Amino acid sequence: MKEFLAAALDFILCRITIFITGVRPPQELLNIGEGTKIYYANHASHGDFLLIFVSLPYRVRKRVRPVAAAEYWESGSVRRFLAKNVFNMVLISRRKDPLEALAQMSDALQTHSLIIFPEGARKMNDDLALQPFKSGIFRLAQQCPDVPLVPVWIKNARNVLPKGFFMPIPLLCELIVGEEIFYGGENKGEFLQKAQDALLAMSETQNDRTKA
């Protein structure tokens, strides 16, 4: 019964997300291979991961785990059920030792792809295109150098579910997917800059599309 309910909620939430946001799965995600990957994106709302999640083919989506804050997703029976049974999240406690969190994600990568948000907290400053990345993405890439990282720029997610709102606001969202990058032996600063630049390049691509 629990598995049936989880599958039904997966179907319903995906359809609702697509209806509200108008997001169209980009071809890069529709044609994505089945190998393990790390999808990383800009972070503006609690619903960001859903836009990537619903854009993946079902066969791929079942092997993808969003990484999220345990404090938020374990704060209620409904959220807890969604996190564990529908989205199969990797829940990381902010109070946990960073090495334990890294081990959690590395273990998950043995069998599943991950969706991560390297900025950490959601961006609230509209003057910043992107907040500086936390070191976690570097440590994860360093520990799993054969796993490709896929940059995904999310447009408009913050305006769909602004801070303090409990109901989403219908608004078109868009995903722009960049080329995979790999850890190539860089030091922390170099790799974080490379990862940020790859993601920001997708933001500039989106701006070019808007002007056109």
pLDDT digits (tens, 9 = 90+) for 105-120: 999 999 999 999 999 8
CB atoms within 10 A of CB 15: 11
| Per-residue model confidence (pLDDT) at position 183 | 98
Name the residue with higher pLDDT: 121 or 162.
121
Among 123, 146, 102, 142, CA closest to 199: 123
| Per-residue model confidence (pLDDT) at position 162 | 52
Q: pLDDT category, 22, cuts 50, 70, 90?
A: confident
Q: pLDDT category, 46, cuts 50, 70, 90?
A: confident
Per the structure, how many domains does the chain have? Answer: 1
3-state secondary structure of 119: coil
Looking at residues 63-80, what average pLDDT do you find? 93
What pLDDT digit, counting tens, does each position of 133-171 carry? Answer: 999 999 999 999 999 999 999 987 665 555 554 445 445
| Per-residue model confidence (pLDDT) at position 127 | 62
Name the residue with higher pLDDT: 54 or 3.
54
- Give the whole-number percent of the chain exceeding pLDDT 70: 85
Determine contact, residues 117/40, Cβ cutoff 8 Å: yes
| Per-residue model confidence (pLDDT) at position 68 | 92
- Give the whole-number percent of the chain exceeding pLDDT 90: 53
CATH number at residue 113: 3.40.1130.10
pTM of the model: 0.87
Give the Cα separation of 161 and 206 in Å (integer). Answer: 20
**Long-range CB contacts (< 8 A, 24+ apart) of 89-96?**
89/65, 90/65, 90/66, 90/114, 92/67, 92/68, 93/69, 94/69, 94/70
**Which residue segment(s) compose the domain that 109 sits in?**
2-211
Give the Cα separation of 172 and 97 in Å (integer). Answer: 38
Among 131, 132, 135, 115, CA closest to 68: 115
Q: Does 210 score more than 50 pLDDT? A: no
| Per-residue model confidence (pLDDT) at position 161 | 52
CA distances from 53 to 157, 196, 201, 209, 211 (A): 14, 21, 22, 23, 28
